[in-house]
């Protein structure tokens, strides 16, 4: 089946989730972050994801912005940087302006030039995603931005992947789903999408019943995969 639609996870896939901590660490107001920013960023991202899974399993859904704040609070305490409200606020403000990875604009433009449909499917709230898309300047090369808030749960619940089918229709294997999260790529594979895992860190493949069809180091080759 030919690919007709390319769908991307947002955070960690199109947008660099470490960018907020990395940027704040360069600012003179926050010297304590200079040698801890990578640790803060890693803790923040891990807790953010863990909280989505736990909330999905227990039915205790909340929006992704709340989860993002809770994950940051845990990370700052773990790194002995809690009790600094100015630092906390700066990191949260920067999260609304995350940088896109360098290859993203050209990659999305190439997909659109090839006549493919493009979309984001993300745990992010609509407001967060709108801020990130505008900051990255990629709104004109996206056909849709889909948030889990439409179904009230987080990935990898199949109801989230249903959002793509409800919007674009067609067979599931006409969708190329791209994520930097191995568990997300696995979940989408089990759903029936063709998947590409963007494994920037060179991590092992998750031991799950499903595997991504493609494993990439960045997004550069996505247009070639979609047209193959």
Any idea which residues carry the catalytic annotation? Answer: 9
Residues 6+ apart with CB under 8 A from 162: 151
**Is the CB of residue 121 less than 8 Å from the CB of residue 163?**
yes
Burial profile 7-39: b = 16 or more Cβ within 10 angstroms, e = fewer: bbbbbbbbbbbbbbbbbbbeeeebeebeebbee
């Amino acid at each position: 089946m030919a690919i007709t639609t390319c769908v991307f996870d947002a955070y960690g896939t199109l947008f660099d989730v470490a960018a907020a901590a990395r940027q704040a660490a360069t600012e003179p107001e926050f010297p304590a972050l200079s040698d801890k920013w990578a640790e803060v960023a890693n803790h923040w991202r891990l807790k953010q994801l863990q909280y989505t899974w736990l909330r999905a399993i227990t039915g205790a859904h909340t929006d992704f912005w709340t989860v993002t704040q809770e994950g940051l609070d845990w990370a700052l305490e773990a790194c002995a940087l809690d009790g600094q409200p100015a630092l906390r606020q700066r990191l949260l403000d920067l999260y609304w302006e995350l940088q896109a990875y360098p290859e993203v604009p050209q990659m999305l433009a190439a997909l659109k030039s090839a006549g493919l449909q493009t979309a984001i499917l993300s745990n992010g709230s609509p407001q967060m995603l709108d801020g990130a898309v505008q900051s990255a300047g990629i709104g004109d090369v996206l056909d849709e931005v889909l948030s889990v808030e439409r179904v009230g749960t987080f990935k990898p619940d199949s109801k989230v992947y249903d959002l793509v089918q409800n919007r674009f229709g067609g067979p599931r294997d006409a969708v190329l789903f791209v994520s930097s999260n191995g568990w997300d790529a696995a979940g989408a594979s089990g759903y029936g999408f063709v998947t590409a895992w963007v494994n920037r860190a060179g991590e092992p493949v998750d031991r799950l019943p499903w595997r991504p069809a493609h494993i990439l180091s960045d997004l550069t080759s996505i247009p070639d995969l979609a047209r193959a």
